[in-house]
Amino acid sequence: MNDLLRDPLAAEPDARAGWSATYRRIRHASEALCAPLEIEDYGLQSADFASPPKWHLAHVSWFFETFLLEPFLPGYRVFDAHFRSLFNSYYEQIGHYHPRAQRGHLSRPTVATVYRYRAQVDEAMQTLIAQADATLWPTVVERLAIGLNHEQQHQELLLTDIKQHFSVNPLRPVYRGDLVLPVAQAHTHSGWRDFAGGLHTVGAGDAGFAYDNERPQHPVFLRPFALAERPVSNAEFLAFVEAGGYADPALWLSDGWHALHAQGWAHPRYWERHDGGWCEFTLGGLRPLDLAAPVSHVSYFEADAYATWVQARLPTEFEWEHAAQEAAVAGNFVDSDLLQPAAAAGAGLRQMFGDVWELTASAYLAYPGFRPPRGALGEYNAKFMSGQVVLRGGSCATPADHIRASYRNFFYPHERWQFQGFRLARDL
C-alpha cells in the first residue's frame, strides 16, 4: 500500500524522494507484466476493444510526456513527434489520434523503440520530480498522481487484453505457467446482510486522491435493502446456464437478448466444455472450472438476467458503496499473484474488494454538482458519461493501492472481457 497514491498532499509538501520511488515502482510493474511475453505477442490485437501490449506501454509514456514533461520540464524534447497522435488514446483537445481498432496495424515503432521511449520518459520524469520549481510542485504532484493511477489502470488492461488475445489462439497459449491454482473451497450458499434506509453519504471527500467522477461527495436516499454476502459463484451461474437461462427471452432485457444472439452467448466468456465437464481459459491456461469462485467475464445483461431468474436484482452503485464503507480495502488483487478470482472462506460480508469488478444497476452519470477539469484532462472521465454502467470494487488484476470504496469503473452493458462479476441485492 502506498500512502502517496492514497493521499498525495498528506505527505510533506516536498516529498520528492517518495514520489521518485513510487514512480519507479509503478513503471517497473508495467514492464514486469510484459516479461512473460514473446516478441510476437506485443503487437496482438484480436478485438477492437482490446489493445496490443506494445500500445499500452507506449500510451502510458505518452501520458507523462504530454501532461507533465512538455509543459513543466524546460528544454524537454519529445522522443518522436509522430507519437503524439499514434499513442493518443482519445483526447480530442490534444489533436488527431490513431483509430483504436487499428492499433494492431502498427508493426512500427518496434518493441525495442517503445522501450527506448519509456526509458527517455523515465529519465526525464526523474529530473522533473527532482527539479520542478516549488511553485509548480503542487500541480506536478496532482498530475503525477493521475498519471501513476492511469498507468495502474493500464496494467489491469494489459492483463485482460492479453487474456483476450491468447484466448482466440487454438494453441491456447499460457501467459504464465507458474500461476498457482487458488486454494479450493467448498461451494456454499450466500447469506444476506440487511441495511437500513435513510440518507447516506457517498463519493470521495475533499482529502486524498480520487478521480473527478468520484466527486463531489453528496447525500443519497436509500430504501432498506439486503445485499448478498458474497458475489454469485460459478456453481450458481452454471445452474442458470444448465436450466436454459440463455434460451429464455423472458429473463433478458431487449438489448441483452439482441447481444446474446448477435454474439452467440451461451455461457460466460472463457468457459469451455471438455469431455462432459466445464473448463475455463485463464492466464495460467485452460483449467477446470472452480465452482466456488466468483463467476467472472459476464456482461451487465447476463448479470441482470440471472438476477431476474432468482427473483433478485443488482445493487445500485450507492447501495454497494454504502455497504463497502464497513469493509476493509483488502482482498485478492494483482498483488496476490493469482490472476484469477478465488473463493473466500468464512462468513459475513466479504469479497467487496478484489476478485471481480462488481456490476451495479447504476448508469454511469455525473454526480450532482460535478464539473470536469478544464483542458484535455477533463476528457479523462466526463466524456464517457453516456450508455455505460458502473462497476465497483476492483478485481484480481487491480493493484491493491489503486482501489477505494468510492472508485467508479465503467463499461458498456455488453462488454465482458474484464474480470467482472456481480452480487445480488433485494428490497426489504
pLDDT in tens, 215-260: 999 999 999 999 999 999 999 999 999 999 999 999 999 999 999 9
pTM: 0.96
Pair (200, 63) in one structural domain: no
pLDDT (mean) for 205-218: 95
Whether 23 is covered by a domain: the verdict is: yes
Q: Cα(235)–Cα(54) distance, rounded to whole angstroms?
A: 37
Last residue of a domain, one of 118, 134, 167: 167
Whether 335 is covered by a domain: the verdict is: yes
Helix (H) or strand (E) holding 240: helix 234-242
Judged against a pLDDT cut of 70, whether residue 382 lies above it is answered with: yes
Please list the alpha-helical segments (H only) found in 65-193. Answer: 70-72, 83-86, 111-131, 137-167
Question: Would you say 339 and 159 are in contact if contact means Cβ atoms under 8 Å apart?
Answer: yes
Whether 184 is covered by a domain: the verdict is: no
Helix (H) or strand (E) holding 389: strand 389-392
Pair (283, 337) in one structural domain: yes
Whether 172 is covered by a domain: the verdict is: no
Judged against a pLDDT cut of 50, whether residue 200 lies above it is answered with: yes
Chain-wide mean pLDDT for the chain? 95
According to the model, what pLDDT value does residue 344 have?
86
Judged against a pLDDT cut of 60, whether residue 149 lies above it is answered with: yes
Whether 367 is covered by a domain: the verdict is: yes
Last residue of a domain, one of 119, 134, 167: 167
Pair (249, 129) in one structural domain: no
All three cell numbers of 304, joined, read 441482470
According to the model, what pLDDT value does residue 12 have?
63
Whether 36 is covered by a domain: the verdict is: yes
Pair (79, 145) in one structural domain: yes
Last residue of a domain, one of 167, 182, 205: 167
According to the model, what pLDDT value does residue 181 have?
81
Pair (163, 200) in one structural domain: no
Q: Binning pLDDT at 50, 70 and 90, where does residue 113 land? A: very high
Query: What is the 8-class DSSP label of residue 213?
Result: G
Pair (157, 203) in one structural domain: no
Question: Would you say 286 and 265 are in contact if contact means Cβ atoms under 8 Å apart?
Answer: no
Pair (62, 26) in one structural domain: yes
Pair (198, 329) in one structural domain: yes
Please list the alpha-helical segments (H only) found in 310-423. Answer: 317-324
Pair (45, 121) in one structural domain: yes
Report the percent of the chain where pLDDT is more than 90. Answer: 92
Whole domain around residue 352: which residue ranges? 192-427
Measured CA angle at 31 (ends 397, 99), to 5 deg: 80
* CB contact burial 356-375 (16+ within 10 A = b; e otherwise): bbbbbbbebeebeebebeee
Judged against a pLDDT cut of 50, whether residue 269 lies above it is answered with: yes
CATH number for the domain harbouring residue 265: 3.90.1580.10
Whether 44 is covered by a domain: the verdict is: yes
Distances (CA, A) of 281 to 50, 290, 300: 17, 11, 21
- Phi then psi dihedrals of residue 225, to 5 deg: -145, 165
Pair (377, 275) in one structural domain: yes
The number of domains in the chain is 2
Judged against a pLDDT cut of 70, whether residue 2 lies above it is answered with: no
Q: Binning pLDDT at 50, 70 and 90, where does residue 1 land? A: very low
DSSP string across 251-286: GS-HHHHHHHHHHT-SSSTTEEEETTEEEEEETTEE
According to the model, what pLDDT value does residue 345 have?
80
Pair (299, 420) in one structural domain: yes
Whether 47 is covered by a domain: the verdict is: yes
According to the model, what pLDDT value does residue 11 have?
56
185 versus 328: the higher-pLDDT residue is 328
According to the model, what pLDDT value does residue 9 have?
62
Pair (200, 158) in one structural domain: no
According to the model, what pLDDT value does residue 10 have?
57
Q: Cα(72)–Cα(140) distance, rounded to whole angstroms?
A: 8
pLDDT (mean) for 357-363: 98
